[in-house]
Structure 1
Amino acid sequence: MIGCMCIHGFTGAPFEVEPLAEYLKKHTDWEISVPTLPGHGDELKLKGIAYNKWIEHAEEELKRLISRCEKVYVIGFSMGGLIASYLTVHYPVDKLVLLSAAAYYVNPKQLFFDIKEMVRDAFRGNLADNEMFVRYKRKIRATPITATLQFRRLVASIRPILNQITVPTLIAQGESDGVVPPRSARYLFNNISSSAKKLIFIKDSKHLICHCEEGDRLFREILGFLQKKPE
């Protein structure tokens, strides 16, 4: 049996990777795991949680998959991409997929355009319909500064070990991502040591890459990569 774990991002929940997880369930007989990291989910309770707790939770779920499956793949979105990278270095992971992985974060140029669009919608009286405003208003209110510091520490602790990744790796990045800039994907591609690595950009995708309009094409690319036999 093949096991595949999908890890969501900082202040997120399984819904961030749910479209991909559902696609994999529909097209394979794999065991798909989508854990909820401590303090995350529909209601954020991040106060007092250190970043190592997020890693440890993912480790326990990965160990469970390894005990049950002959092969294990790990997919990580945003901060989950950094956690997935850590797991790949320390455990027998067969393939790695990084989606909008946050080796770097905040894309000032795209964020400026997104904020400008929010201002336009505010003047039009349509702010409540602006997807980015609705999604991030709740997160900003519910995310303590200490949790953001823990996120930064996680990134800083994992970035130096990226060169220890040697398994086949697929990196996907939205070109219109206002949270994680395209240079993050290029950094990952240049620093991961795998000889079998691929970088793809999704032109119109913002940060939630699994919810973009080109999702089906992205999911086919991911499944094809995971099913491809070693050359």
Structure 2
Amino acid sequence: MSIGCLCIHGYTGSPEEVQPLVDFLEARTDWEIANPTLPGHGEKLDLEGHYYQEWIATAELALLDLRKRHEKIYVIGFSMGGMIAAYLTAKYHLDRIVLLSAAGKYVSLPQMYKDVLEMLGDAFNGALASNELFTRYQKKLKDTYLFSTFEFMKCVQFTRPYLKDVRCPVLIIQGELDGMVPKEAALYLEKEIPSKEKELVFLKKSKHLICHGDDKEELFEEVLDFVRQP
């Protein structure tokens, strides 16, 4: 039975956020994997004039394209993409879903505080330019259109009610050091999703960009084991 897999990146992100996992799966499966860029996103952000409905529609069109050729569809969603993945899974009764750092409800103020302190420490030591977290978020803050943040919030609000309609097997993976979405979010997802088959995995060394974290090999193996289950 042929399998198609849709991967959905996060808000202000790009397919590169999940590309390491895509590469890993492509090397070990014969799946067709789609990893689209949501409108206004990518390496050069241009979010002004784009709405959350476009982000959902782009992912949905990629899904419908995969369904033309494959009997089974798996979906992997990162951060905001996880919420879009949940919506599509509920709407189309997909076969398996993987939620990576999914932005369901919470923002982690304590971890954000720790990250800021780390950045300040690097600034004091003259090493801020080499702080990967700072350089990544500095670019995002510079390039992010303010009002698109409200579209992100609307996207989460729109998709959240569909969590209760996800019935297929689900794998939830969360980094314990995530400064954007804390572990409580993963526990919330586990509670809200009524699937009988649920797995919840915490990665001790990972922050928000979980496919690029120190635990990424463990993540890749967890995903592969999950999707290979009968």
| CA distance in structure 2 between the aligned counterparts of 1:38 and 1:62, rounded to whole angstroms | 16
> C-alpha displacement at 1:106, in angstroms?
2.4
Matched, 1:8 2:26: no
Asked if 2 retains the 8 angstrom alpha-carbon contact of 1:3 and 1:31, the reply is yes
| CA distance in structure 2 between the aligned counterparts of 1:16 and 1:56, rounded to whole angstroms | 20
| CA distance in structure 1 between the aligned counterparts of 2:200 and 2:67, rounded to whole angstroms | 27
| CA distance in structure 1 between the aligned counterparts of 2:175 and 2:202, rounded to whole angstroms | 6
Aligned residues: 229
Q: What does the per-residue CA deviation read over 1:74-124, in whole Å, with 9 as the maximum and x for residues that have no partner?
A: 000000000000100111310000000000242111111100000010011
| CA distance in structure 2 between the aligned counterparts of 1:106 and 1:44, rounded to whole angstroms | 22
Tell me the SS of whatever aligns to 1:35: coil
Cross-structure match for 1:227: 228
AA paired with 1:161? Answer: Y
Tell me the SS of whatever aligns to 2:114: helix
| CA distance in structure 1 between the aligned counterparts of 2:159 and 2:32, rounded to whole angstroms | 27
Tell me the SS of whatever aligns to 1:132: helix
Cross-structure match for 1:151: 152
AA paired with 1:46? Answer: L
> C-alpha displacement at 1:39, in angstroms?
0.3
Q: Percent identity?
A: 52
AA paired with 1:200? Answer: V
Asked if 1 retains the 8 angstrom alpha-carbon contact of 2:101 and 2:174, the reply is yes
Q: What does the per-residue CA deviation read over 1:176-203, in whole Å, with 9 as the maximum and x for residues that have no partner?
A: 0000111111000000010001111001
Cross-structure match for 1:212: 213
> C-alpha displacement at 1:16, in angstroms?
0.4
TM-score of the superposition, structure 1-length normalised? 0.98
Cross-structure match for 2:37: 36
Segments ≥4 residues shifted beyond 6 Å: none
Cross-structure match for 2:52: 51
Query: Aligned Cα RMSD in Å?
Result: 0.7
| CA distance in structure 1 between the aligned counterparts of 2:52 and 2:194, rounded to whole angstroms | 25
Unaligned runs of 5+ in 1: none
TM-score of the superposition, structure 2-length normalised? 0.98
| CA distance in structure 2 between the aligned counterparts of 1:92 and 1:179, rounded to whole angstroms | 29
AA paired with 1:70? Answer: E
Asked if 2 retains the 8 angstrom alpha-carbon contact of 1:174 and 1:205, the reply is yes
AA paired with 1:197? Answer: K
AA paired with 1:166? Answer: R
Tell me the SS of whatever aligns to 1:170: strand
Q: How does 1:21-170 map to 2 (within 5 A)?
A: 21-170=22-171
> C-alpha displacement at 1:26, in angstroms?
0.5
Asked if 1 retains the 8 angstrom alpha-carbon contact of 2:93 and 2:166, the reply is no
Asked if 2 retains the 8 angstrom alpha-carbon contact of 1:48 and 1:146, the reply is no
Asked if 2 retains the 8 angstrom alpha-carbon contact of 1:104 and 1:181, the reply is no
